[in-house]
Amino acid sequence: MSEEIVVLSDAEEFYYAGNEIGVLVSHGFTGTTQSMAYLGKRLADEGFTVYGPRLRGHGTTPEDMETSTFKEWIEDVEAGLARLKETCSKVFVTGLSMGGTLTLYLAERHPELAGIMPINAAVEMSEFESYYLSLKGKERFIDGIGSDIKAKGIQELAYAKTPVQSMGELVQLLKVVQKGLGEITVPALILSSKVDHVVPPLNSQIIYEDIRSDVKELVKLEDSYHVATLDNDKEFIADQCISFIHKCME
């Protein structure tokens, strides 16, 4: 019998029942729902129905993550979208980092989405891919990439080590999503930190230029690093997302 997976405290999925406007909130690679908890709560306080799923292999152990695949992460957000559609007539999607990548994936395949709000999303990470290829077959884990945060004393709940196998899964996801950017036509609010030590800000520019949405805006985050949803701009991000959703519903 397989061992029961123990989910870390603050890494559990969250769900807030609200009105007929749903918002799917996705965390990033090696991270947890803790990074999205503030944004999720702000959206819920606005009256929206909010769901933040825990992606498989996350919020447990790096060894658990090592066995999960990018297709499972896609299944997790697809299931989250389906859950919101059960009670919501309109659904928006937001996500940080790989969560932003998964947000874009959903937009490529679900033109019925009301809008998307990717935050420091990744689509083009050639240096990361080269690094992965140099490690493949040689290393099992490398140092973690969490807590790229400008604000003092703030810690992201993320793995201290990253499975090399999982890096390969992320590389595959990025290729799938970048290839399909031209399929996106839904309204988009793209949020991008000016200084990001994990995902080059050029990614957000690529997204802005390659999607075919009539309504799209690229907003710079002046005072945050990669994990902007926990950083100095977290209130600004929540305000922007709430404003964007209301505009789209007018």
Catalytic sites, residue numbers: 97, 196, 226
Report the b/e string of 171-188 with b at 16+ CB within 10 A: bebbebbbebbeebbbbb
Q: What are phi and psi of 201, to 5 degrees?
A: -55, -20
Q: Which of 198, 167, 181 is nearest to 70 (CA)?
A: 167
Q: Which of 215, 216, 196 is nearest to 207 (CA)?
A: 216
| Tokens encoding 22 | 């749903």
| Tokens encoding 32 | 């947890």
Tell me how far apart the alpha carbons of residues 101 and 190 are, in angstroms, rounded to a whole number: 11
